[in-house]
Amino acid sequence: MLADRMSRLGTETAFVVLARAKALEAKGKDIVHLEIGEPDFDTPANIIAKGVEAMQGGETHYGPAAGKPEVRKVYAEHIASDRGIDVGPENIVITPGGKPIMYFVMTALVNAGDEVIYPNPGFPIYESVINFLGAKAVALPLTEDKDFSFDIAELEKRVSDKTRMLIINSPHNPTGGVLSGADLDAIAKLAVEHDFWVLSDEIYSKIIYEGKHESISTRPGMLERTIILEGHSKTYAMTGWRLGYGVMPAELAEAVAKLQTNCNSCTASFTQIAGAEALTGPQDAAEAMVAEFKVRRDLLVEGLNAIPGITCKRPRGAFYVFPNIEGLDRKSSEIETLLLDEYGVAALSGTAFGAHGEGYLRFSYANSQEQIRKALERVGRMAKDLLG
Ligand code: PLP
């Protein structure tokens, strides 16, 4: 019934586990939700007020495909000062969430038969879109012994004359890993030398606990070959607003806007106005979220490390931990099912993020300390039952 290309399209199983967890809840089971990558906080009040005001003021019509000019300008100024790069409104395309940037940019740049190197474990949509486009998905394993970064030699081995693009994501989903400045230097050198694009997913740029986020776009020769993926979902707890953007060379921005015209016409106008307020208004609510995430990270990491059969690195960014569960001697997907069905904790198998996630689980700590404590008690009970 479906077109052939649909067999190559993957998905995000976080939504599948969320649906299963909700179904169990509907039957009366108590579930701790650590599966979904969504802040449990509400969108800050000043952003909501601006969105409502914009709607009441008539910002309810179609707008230009690439985004409202005044909002593109605000985003460009923000990125120019935050990342320290020379960009203007012509480099910005505003999209419904950060996710469409992956699809649009790869559609605009990657031909069937090209190779795209992507992090594995990594956000599942990268591999899905690469395969969908008929390109070759070349996995770059991220390893625990490197704090979920990678060896530059491993990257170099995967670069060929067909390499069209490299995808990086720092801070990283699902591991919370952060690429070092030296890593970025080395990646940039390879990109320039071998003339490939870098899609730099920086959606967690503000959720970082040690040090400051650095963008590969700042490295020599990189501005003209980097696409920054950014968005409001995580930093400002705006997942349901669907608001994100890409920063890219102007010619590519025009192509991405054309794809948007063919797809969703534009991003909701009042949402964009609220997005400009998010970047220019007070940042205290966003900073308070990060401070709370840090407390939860420490609670979860220490709690997991106290459970037999589990070890957990302390991630430097995002709101995920990626504990090693090899000591439990079961496949990650089995543990995912067991944890949800028998112990009422919704988490994701590491393999939801690619084959190199075997032996790990992902917990999102976008949930309260009370819920995290409850989850730790239940995970501990499961480990005890399994290990006898
Ligand atoms: N990139 C990464 C690494 C993510 O984890 C997510 C969301 O989970 C996104 C992009 C997309 O975010 P959104 O489309 O909600 O802005």
Minimum CA distance residue for ligand 1 atom 11: 99
pLDDT, position 201? 98
Nearest residue to 73 (alpha-carbon basis) of 81, 374, 365: 81
pLDDT, position 14? 87
- The span from the CA of 170 to the CA of 98, in Å, is 14
pLDDT, position 242? 98
pLDDT, position 13? 86
Instruction: Give the number of the atom of ligand 1 that is nearest the alpha carbon of residue 96.
Output: 14
Instruction: Indicate the burial class of 267 (C-beta count within 10 angstroms; 0-12, 13-18, 19 or more).
Output: buried
- The span from the CA of 368 to the CA of 309, in Å, is 25
With beta carbons less than 8 A apart as the criterion, state whether 324 and 175 touch.
no
Mutate to test the pocket of ligand 1, among 203, 239, 271, 348 (most ligand atoms within 8 A of CB): 203
pLDDT, position 73? 98
CA of 32 to the centre of ligand 1 (A): 22
Sign for the CA dihedral angle at 265, 257, 174, 116 comes to: positive
Strands 32-33 and 320-321: unpaired
Go through 56-92 and write b for each residue having 16 or more CB atoms within 10 A of its CB, e for each that does not: eeebeeebbbbbbeebbebbbbbbeebbebebebebb
Instruction: Give the number of the atom of ligand 1 that is nearest the alpha carbon of residue 100.
Output: 14
pLDDT tens-digit series, residues 244-266: 999 999 999 999 999 999 999 99
Nearest residue to 339 (alpha-carbon basis) of 20, 39, 123, 40: 20
- Residue range 174-198: average pLDDT? 97
Maximum pairwise Cα distance, the chain = 64
Give the binding-site residues of ligand 1, using a 6 Å CB cut-off.
Answer: 37, 97-99, 123, 169, 173, 201, 203, 231, 233, 239, 244
pLDDT tens-digit series, residues 290-338: 999 999 999 999 999 999 999 999 999 999 999 999 999 999 999 999 9
pLDDT tens-digit series, residues 85-110: 999 999 999 999 999 999 999 999 99
pLDDT tens-digit series, residues 124-138: 999 999 999 999 999
pLDDT above 90: residue 346: yes
What single-letter amino acid sits at 131? N
Q: What is the mean pLDDT of the chain?
A: 97
Domains of the chain: 4-43+284-387 (3.90.1150.10), 60-280 (3.40.640.10)
- The span from the CA of 198 to the CA of 157, in Å, is 17
Cα 250 from chain centroid? 24
pLDDT, position 211? 87
pLDDT tens-digit series, residues 213-242: 999 999 999 999 999 999 999 999 999 999
What single-letter DSSP state applies at residue 241?
G
pLDDT above 90: residue 150: no
With beta carbons less than 8 A apart as the criterion, state whether 309 and 386 touch.
yes
Minimum CA distance residue for ligand 1 atom 5: 173
Instruction: Give the number of the atom of ligand 1 that is nearest the alpha carbon of residue 123.
Output: 3
CA of 383 to the centre of ligand 1 (A): 31
CA of 105 to the centre of ligand 1 (A): 15
Residue 22's SS3 state is: helix
In 10 A of CB 37, how many CB atoms? Answer: 21
Mutate to test the pocket of ligand 1, among 12, 102, 123, 239 (most ligand atoms within 8 A of CB): 123
pLDDT tens-digit series, residues 6-58: 999 999 888 899 999 999 999 999 999 999 989 999 999 999 999 999 999 99
Minimum CA distance residue for ligand 1 atom 8: 37
